[in-house]
Copies of this chain bind each other. A is one copy, B any other.
């Protein structure tokens, strides 16, 4: 099963899921999580821009080569919303995945419940911890529940 891990890049939630899912028949993908590289990839490769808008455009489109393929190949898309920042790209990924009919798992703390209600409503599971995501993957693949 192919899993795409979208969203927040400032904590180790991806590592926790990958570690916890060891032994399961899953393959993970996700965006480039090196924040500086992700912001600057466009101009670093294709040349500098004076205008920050186009600097960002070049980078965002280059990242889209990776992220769209990751979502399109995935069976399950997990989207994590952290405590900080706008995270509009995470919400965009969730909408993109929903329109493609992917199974969505949304991962966020209780504080974000109301503003995320439309996104949660498009999901097949809403989890609070990476550990729960691992348990879902284990159940979906092997039919076993936590003791």
Instruction: Spell out A's residues near B (CB within 8 Å).
Output: 1, 32-34, 37, 40-42, 44-46, 49-54, 56-66, 68-69, 75-76, 81, 85-101, 103, 105, 112-127, 132, 135-136, 139-141, 143-146
Contacts and interface: CB of A to CB of B under 8 A. Distances in A.
Interface of A is mostly: helix
Contacts of A143: 32-34, 37
A95 B93 CA distance: 6
A116 B88 contact: yes
A124 B45 contact: no
A145 B36 CA distance: 10
Given A60-B117, A60-B121, A98 B103 contact: no
